[in-house]
A and B are shown apart, each in its own frame.
Chain A
């Protein structure tokens, strides 16, 4: 059963068709990767899915419900979490605070009970903390718990973003270039984590990625994109050897 469907999705920026009638299905429990040269519209698709951009046409369906008109702050509560290509962490807060914020979609307390910090708020905070600690353990972030993000190296920030997305308890995880800026070792770790997220946590992953070794290692299906249009969809091997894809990357 497909957990997410995009139906002839398109968006124009002025006269430029950044995404032009893209349709795809993501099956429950798979890693679906979108590849394509720079400017192909990959990140734009992500911004459409997380509702930051308003699509010019098309439809988004998640878990059987139409989310085309859902406001962006409601997406997390529905079960879609994302990371950003250029890390968007809360830099002047600790790692722990960053992860706790990701529990925001699950908050049930009102302003006045928080103002007085009633026992119910305290109880809820402890619950959130426990959920966050599970993710910290899963991604081995224990030693950075109380560090401010500004003081953390790039690789750790990248993992922190993944952790923050996981803390929202997502059903669908959008990863925007999870390996960009990471060294070979860190990329390998990332590949293992993505597989674990799919196999152990049962979370469906929609990913944009350039590193083809990572793509082949973790993806179940790959969609190649060029100039905002899909070229082909299939297994990593099929897509990589597709003549149109080769032409898009190498020219000619």
Chain B
């Protein structure tokens, strides 16, 4: 077991806990940088999706995981960012100002949606944001001058300061850059008074207020910052998907983002990345299984001569081809995660780490939490 000895207060506000941690993250960085040279074009593209989803996850993590405000309308912010960016690009605005403008517009819409959040919490806020996302989706399909409605809107490959990022590998690095930037900025906020105020609002609004936190301002900041990240993700999303249509930004996408942060682990930046890996990679994994299970089962049936194995394989393959199976699997996993591992993949990761660092002495009770009932008379 490794103890971190602290000799100065500055050590507690560093980005990394100590040198050992920093070197692990450095190693991870090198692997991620080297990855495009080791993988085929297809997998580079899929990993780029992980980065974009991680940006979306980060956005929702700030709002749901740290400030405790639930949003079912984040796909709308993604859409606003994507359409704004695509519209500005089409009208000849260079890439960087176009992204900045798209982020600003999304931030402004985030503040507007955040206004009801000052008075609503929990399920009521979720419904308000859901209504917002339905309205915005309607706007996407009707405002044809900007969005081209259901005819769709092609998006060109990014060209930044004359450098083309059309190549999948180049775009991979572009997305990686923005993800690392967003992680750094969010980490900065979380280790300064703003992040603490968010956590305080999540855990006890009344105490936060009594300690001098202006609830209205910090909730608005959370909404604005979350929307800004979503706007940035939207700009990258537009390039990645290459063709925008209103039916991309549905409630299902919003739910997928919510699933991402819950499966990843609420209240941690790691959770956003873990969740993104899960959400971005599950569909291709299902697609691979859909083809490989019937084929391999058919092989097994031939080898063993038991016909029923082949029929079973076909049945599984056909089942996976049915529409809605993906959503069903997502839902099933969400339920299982909430039941079995409320802290998500990051919680599991911590348990595994503690298991190995305390190896022969690991106690299962380390993570058992006592239930306490002390909030009978909350002022609400």
Instruction: List 11 A–B pairs whose Cβ atoms lie within 8 Å, in order of A's numbering.
Output: A87-B374, A89-B207, A91-B203, A93-B196, A93-B199, A97-B199, A104-B200, A114-B194, A115-B185, A115-B189, A168-B212
Q: Which of B192, B199, B212, B372 contacts A125 (CB 8 A)?
A: B192
| Residue contact B192 to A126, C-beta cutoff 8 Å | no
Stretch at the interface among A78-86, A190-198, A237-245: A78-86
Mark B3-15 against chain A: 1 for CB-CB distance below 8 A, else 0. Answer: 0000001101100
- At the interface, yes or no: B360 with Cβ under 8 Å from chain A? no
Question: What residue in chain A is nearest B376 (Cβ atoms)?
Answer: A86
| Residue contact B210 to A50, C-beta cutoff 8 Å | yes
- Chain B contact residues, CB within 8 Å of chain A: 9-10, 12-13, 185, 188-189, 191-194, 196-197, 199-200, 202-204, 206-215, 221, 267, 369, 372, 374-379
Known: A72-B210, A75-B210. A86 touches B13 (CB 8 A): no
Q: Which of B12, B189, B374 contacts A129 (CB 8 A)?
A: B12
Contact-size category for A: 35 or more
Q: Which residues of A contact B9 (CB under 8 A)?
A: 126, 129-130, 133
| Residue contact A82 to B210, C-beta cutoff 8 Å | yes
- At the interface, yes or no: A116 with Cβ under 8 Å from chain B? yes
| Residue contact A104 to B203, C-beta cutoff 8 Å | no
Q: Which of A105, A109, A150 contacts B192 (CB 8 A)?
A: A109
Q: Which of B200, B378, B379 contacts A90 (CB 8 A)?
A: B200
Q: Which residues of B contact A74 (CB under 8 A)?
A: 212
- Chain A contact residues, CB within 8 Å of chain B: 47, 50, 52, 71-77, 81-82, 84-93, 96-97, 100-105, 107, 109, 111, 114-117, 121-122, 125-126, 129-130, 133, 150-151, 154, 164, 168
Q: Which residues of A contact B374 (CB under 8 A)?
A: 86-87, 154
| Residue contact A73 to B369, C-beta cutoff 8 Å | no
Question: What residue in chain B is nearest A149 (Cβ atoms)?
Answer: B203
Known: A107-B193, A114-B189, A125-B192. A72 touches B203 (CB 8 A): no
Name the residue among B13, B196, B214 with the largest chain A CB count within 10 angstroms: B196
Q: Which residues of B contact A100 (CB under 8 A)?
A: 196
Q: Which residues of B contact A52 (CB under 8 A)?
A: 206, 209-210, 379
